[in-house]
Amino acid sequence: MSTSPSSLGTAVVTGASAGLGKVYADRLAGRGYDLVLVARRAELLDAVAADLRARHGVNVRTLVADLSLAADVDKVASLLREDAGITLLVNNAGTSTLAPFAATSPAQIQAMNAINVDALVQLSRAVLPAFLARDKGTLINIGSVLGFFSLPVSTAYSGGKSYVLTFTRGLQDEVKDSHVVVQLVAPSATATDIWEISGVPLSALDKNVVMTAEDCVDAALAGLDLGEAVTLPSVENAGLFAAYDAARAALAAATQNGKPASRYQVK
Q: Cα separations (Å) of 29 from 6, 9, 57, 146?
A: 10, 11, 8, 29
Residue 195: its pLDDT value, please? 55
CA dihedral 120, 123, 124, 125 (to 10 degrees): 120
Q: Any idea what the CATH number is for the domain that residue 155 is in?
A: 3.40.50.720
Residue 111: its pLDDT value, please? 95
Strands 60-64 and 34-39: parallel
Query: Per the domain annotation, does 100 fall within a domain?
Result: yes
Residue 3: its pLDDT value, please? 67
Q: Is 56 exposed, middle or buried (0-12, 13-18, 19+ CB in 10 A)?
A: buried
24 counts as catalytic:
no
Check if the beta carbon of residue 183 is closer than 8 Å to that of residue 138. Answer: yes
206-236 confidence digits (pLDDT tens):
778 889 999 999 999 999 999 999 999 999 9
In the predicted structure, residue 126 carries a pLDDT above the cut 60? yes
Check if the beta carbon of residue 36 is closer than 8 Å to that of residue 62. Answer: yes
174-208 confidence digits (pLDDT tens):
999 999 999 999 999 887 776 567 666 667 767 78
Residue 196: its pLDDT value, please? 66
Residue 224: its pLDDT value, please? 98
Query: Per the domain annotation, does 173 fall within a domain?
Result: yes
Query: Per the domain annotation, does 228 fall within a domain?
Result: yes
Query: Per the domain annotation, does 3 fall within a domain?
Result: no
Give the 3-state secondary structure of residue 178. Answer: coil
Q: pLDDT band at residue 124, thresholds of 50, 70 and 90?
A: very high
Residue 133: its pLDDT value, please? 98
Distance CA 166, CA 186 (A): 12
16-71 confidence digits (pLDDT tens):
999 999 999 999 999 999 999 999 999 999 999 999 999 999 999 999 999 999 99
Q: CB under 8 Å to 40, separation ≥6 — which residues? A: 17, 64, 65, 66, 67, 72
Residue 90's domain spans which residues?
Answer: 10-239
Residue 18: its pLDDT value, please? 94
Query: Per the domain annotation, does 262 fall within a domain?
Result: no
Query: Per the domain annotation, does 254 fall within a domain?
Result: no
Report which secondary-structure segment, H or E, holds 248.
helix 238-254
Query: Per the domain annotation, does 1 fall within a domain?
Result: no
Residue 220: its pLDDT value, please? 98
Residue 201: its pLDDT value, please? 67
Q: Cα separations (Å) of 111 from 16, 94, 101, 121, 180?
A: 18, 9, 14, 15, 30
Query: Per the domain annotation, does 246 fall within a domain?
Result: no
Burial 157-176 (b: 16+ CB within 10 A, else e): bbbbbbbbbebbbebbeebe
The total number of structural domains that make up the chain: 1
CA-based Rg of the chain, rounded to a whole angstrom?
A: 19
Quote the distance between the C-alpha of residue 221 and its chain's center: 13
Residue-by-residue DSSP string for 2-25: --PPPTT-EEEEESTTSHHHHHHH
Q: CB under 8 Å to 1, separation ≥6 — which residues? A: 53, 54, 57
Active-site hit among 24, 33, 157, 163: 157
241-258 confidence digits (pLDDT tens):
999 999 999 999 999 999
CA atoms within 13 A on the CB side of 137: 26
Check if the beta carbon of residue 151 is closer than 8 Å to that of residue 197. Answer: no
Q: pLDDT band at residue 1, thresholds of 50, 70 and 90?
A: very low
Share of the chain above pLDDT 90, in %: 88
